Amino acid sequence: MYVFTFIYMGMDSSYFPCFNYFLVLKCQCLRTSKTVQPSLIKKVQEFPPRPYCSKLEIIITLKNNVKVCLDPTHKFAKAVLESTKVKKRELLN
């Protein structure tokens, strides 16, 4: 899954005569947190390294729809990923 960020070029379309925006691919996580309150986790997403982002990214969506990036090297993030994988395996069985 690719996440695309669009940068609006405004009214000046001299860069691309047909388009007012262009596509920028980049990492989603500029800052990371070490932990979040587990009871507030709504969704866990794992993004492996990609051509435009060399880092593993773990993005947690909280129940209030705020997204938080976890530090993938921290024990908490590894535990969250393992817990998510276990739950997925249990659902498949």
Round to whole Å and give the CA distance between 6 and 19: 12
Residue 60 maps to which CATH number? 2.40.50.40
39 occurs within a structural domain: yes
Round to whole Å and give the CA distance between 63 and 37: 11
54 occurs within a structural domain: yes
Looking at the 3D structure of the chain, how many domains does it have? 1
Residue 42 neighbours by CB under 8 Å, 6+ apart:
61, 62, 63, 65
Q: Which domain holds residue 66?
A: 29-92
Please state the pTM of the whole predicted model: 0.69
pLDDT tens-digit series, residues 50-64: 999 999 999 999 999
pLDDT tens-digit series, residues 13-47: 444 455 555 555 789 999 999 999 999 999 999 99
